[in-house]
Amino acid sequence: MEALNGKVAYITGGSKGIGLGVAKELVKQGMHVAVSGRGSADLDNAVAELGAENAMGIISDVTRLEDEQSAVEQIIKRWGHLDVVVANAGVGHFAPIDTLKTEAWHQMINTNLNGVYHTLMASMDALKASKGYYITIASLAGTNFFAQGAGYNATKFGVVGFTQAAMLDLRPHGIKVSTIMPGSVSTHFNNHSPSSKDAWKIQPEDIGHLVRDLLQMHPRTLPSKIEVRPTRPDLK
C-alpha cells in the first residue's frame, strides 16, 4: 500500500461537490491539498473546512493555461513538490442540439475539455519529477450518449479519450493516469441543491474514497478507466 502522508495534491473545481469530497479524504490521509476555483468565498469556506495548515485555496480558471501554471507555481512554492492532480472542474448545459446556445457549447468545451489539457500541461514537469498521479473526473456521459446531451457528451467522451491516450504516453515517465466516470452524484452541479432526496445517489465522499484507494494501490497496478454508478437508481 502506498503511503499518502506528506504528499501534495491539486484539485481543480475543489471548493465544493466532488472536488471538496476528494480533498477532505486526502487531508484525512495526511496529505496537503490545494483546491482551485473561480470564487474566493467558496474557496475560503473550503479551506476553513479542510484546515488552513493542510490546505490552500487558489483562484484559477482552467480555461486559461496561464492560470493553471500560476496555480502549480503557488503549490510548489508552499510545499516544494506536487504528487497528485485531480482535474475535476466542469460545467454542463443540456438542450436539444438545434437549440443549444453557441456560448454554452464553447463554455463546456473550454472548461471540460480544454481545462483538463491545461491542468495536465501546467503540472507535467512537477508530475514527472514526483512520478505522480493525474486523475480526470469524467462521467458516464463519456460513454453513454443521451438526448439533450450533445455538448456535454462531446466533452466527456473527449475527456475519456484524452485521459486514456495520455495514460499511454506518460507511463514511460512513471506517471500514473486514470479517469473516473461517475453517474449521478449528489452535488451542486447544474444548479442542483443537494438534499435528503439525493440519498440514492453517489455521494462526494464516495469519490474521495475511490481516489484514496487508487493512490494507495500497488504501483504495478493501474485501474485506468473506472465507471462508478449508484447501486439503486430505482430508489430515486
The residues annotated as belonging to the active site are 152
Cβ atoms within 10 Å, residue 40: 11
Q: How far apart are the C-alpha atoms of 83 and 116, rounded to whole Å?
A: 17
- Work out whether strand 133-137 and strand 84-87 pair parallel, antiparallel, or are unpaired: parallel
Contact 181, 138 (CB under 8 A): yes
C-beta separation of 114 from 63 below 8 A: yes
Instruction: List C-alpha distances in Å: 157 to 72, 104, 126, 141.
Output: 26, 17, 27, 7
